[in-house]
Amino acid sequence: MAKPKVATTSMCGCFGCHMSFLDIDERILELIELVDFDKSPIDDIKEFTGPVAVGLIEGSCCNEENVHVLQDFRKHCDVLVAVGGCAINGDIPALRNTVPLSECMDEAYRKSVTTYNPSGQIPNDPELPLILDRIYPCNEVVKIDYYLPGCPPSADTIWAALLALLNNKPLDLPYELIKYD
Ligand code: SF4
């Protein structure tokens, strides 16, 4: 019987949620018996190869490519999970939401002490994805089915959630896995 597929992506985040996922350590051997990975930075598959049971989203949307990726995940995944604070509410990247985009670009490409940019040109090659006016959490772009809080959620939390979803069990995580006090 074909194994269910899992896909993951890292958008505007730090890859820490993926690193936490990989912290399941030796359980990764169990995982590869349970699922096949589709589009994911873990296997470097760039495009979906078909329908996917569970999509794990790290990060929020900071540019138009993130929006396309997220919409693509929603289209292909039966269940979509926002993993970590960046995906859920924008978290650290959303700090820029208090500053106009033009000021952010100015600081990044013209004014910072480590910038050398005599022409003052801000990168605008058509190949570059358009930067959005602000950070958009995933649920402002597509419907999200589940949220795993944390920065990052622990490996045990991600593991428990994935097992529940793959086994069609309720996502009823114990307090120990979702407390942050
Ligand atoms: S939630 Fe935390 S660990 Fe995850 S991508 Fe954002 S900053 Fe990194």
Q: Please write the tens of the pLDDT for every residue from 88-138.
A: 999 999 999 999 999 999 999 999 999 999 999 999 999 999 999 999 999
pLDDT in tens, 37-72: 999 999 999 999 999 999 999 999 999 999 999 999
CA distance 15 to 18: 5
8, pLDDT greater than 80: yes
181, pLDDT greater than 80: no
Mean pLDDT of the chain: 95
Q: What is the pLDDT of residue 179?
A: 80
Q: What is the pLDDT of residue 172?
A: 87
When pLDDT is cut at 50, 70 and 90, the band that residue 180 belongs to is: confident
Q: What is the pLDDT of residue 39?
A: 97
Q: What is the pLDDT of residue 1?
A: 79
Best substitution site from 151, 157, 178 to test ligand 1's pocket, by max atoms within 8 Å of Cβ?
A: 151
When pLDDT is cut at 50, 70 and 90, the band that residue 170 belongs to is: confident
**121 alpha carbon to ligand 1 midpoint, in Å?**
30
Amino acid at 74: R
Ligand 1 atom closest to the Cα of residue 15 is: 5
Section 161-166 average pLDDT:
96
CA distance 181 to 166: 29
Q: What is the pLDDT of residue 129?
A: 96
Q: Which of 54, 134, 137 is nearest to 88 (CA)?
A: 137
Best substitution site from 20, 91, 135 to test ligand 1's pocket, by max atoms within 8 Å of Cβ?
A: 91
Mapping DSSP onto H, E and C, the string for the chain reads CCCCEEEEEECECCCHHHHHHHCCCCHHHHHHHHCEECCECCCCECCCCCCEEEEEEECEEEEHHHHHHHHHHHHHEEEEEEECHHHHHCCHHHHHHHCCHHHHHHHHHHHCCCCCCCCCCCCCCCCCCCEEEEEECHHHCCCCCEEECCCCCCHHHHHHHHHHHHCCCCCCCCHHHHCCC
pLDDT in tens, 78-91: 999 999 999 999 99
Say yes or no: CB of residue 91 within 6 Å of ligand 1: yes
